[in-house]
Homo-oligomer: A and B are copies of this chain.
Amino acid sequence: MHSLFKKLLLHHPELQAEVADLNGFVEPPRTYPPGAVIGRNRSVPGAVFVISDGWVLASHYLANGASQVVDIRLPGDFLYDQGNLGSSVGLEYVAVTEVRLREFRLSTEALLRATSIRLASAMMAEVTRDRQVITQHLVNVGRRDPAVRTAHMLLELAVRAEKVGLGDAHRFRFPLTQSMLADALGMSAIHLNRVLRKLRESKLVSFQNSMVTFEDFDAITRFAGFERGYLE
């Protein structure tokens, strides 16, 4: 079994057999270079992808050139229809690192239909979890001050990365540029840079050389008011 369903099985270990049935619908893995847009040439409209390796941004581009990163997707996460990828809605999945992923030859709906109801509701739960993550980002951007907001985001990603075996909770590889992270946090890259400096000087977290290191995990958790509950 590939790492493909790592995350799904993590939450629902009892689904081993059902998940195995899905293998018949899976395309061989495909690789994208950094910067590539994912999902432009799908086998089926609405097809679902699963990330095997690499980081992916779900970004929304505005007419004036600004962009908002809506979600950051890690190995084990699904990439699914957000109202037809790349449609007029302006939402796109973009590879940050080199990305390896697999595609189902099925739309979200067909995937539900093809599988057991138990698996369907596990996927539903997965979607619900995604929704909560986005909800947190909304709270972040709307109402948390920039330093807290930044800390919160980094903590979330640390926990998510750890869950799928990338680094531990105190130190992990973080391949985004500051400007990408700024787009996720709804602020300018320059200001983010200054915020990061302050966080580093406060000995809370450092972000250097594509590595995030928490100097004092408890302190920053308190500082950010981070409750990991929404990720479980």
Query: Interface on A for B, CB 8 Å cutoff?
Result: 60, 62-63, 66-68, 70, 80-83, 87-91, 108-109, 112-113, 117-118, 120-121, 124-125, 127-132, 134-135, 137-139, 141-144, 183, 185-186, 225, 227, 229-230
Contacts and interface: CB of A to CB of B under 8 A. Distances in A.
Given A89-B229, A112-B117, 13 more contacts: A62-B225, A68-B139, A70-B139, A82-B128, A87-B229, A89-B230, A108-B124, A108-B128, A112-B120, A120-B124, A127-B131, A137-B138, A142-B183
A207 to B, nearest CB: 20
Contact of A89 (B88, B91, B227): B227
Contact of A131 (B62, B121, B130, B137): B130
A112 B137 contact: no
Secondary structure type dominating chain A contacts: helix
A112 B124 contact: yes
B132 A131 contact: no
A133 to B, nearest CB: 10
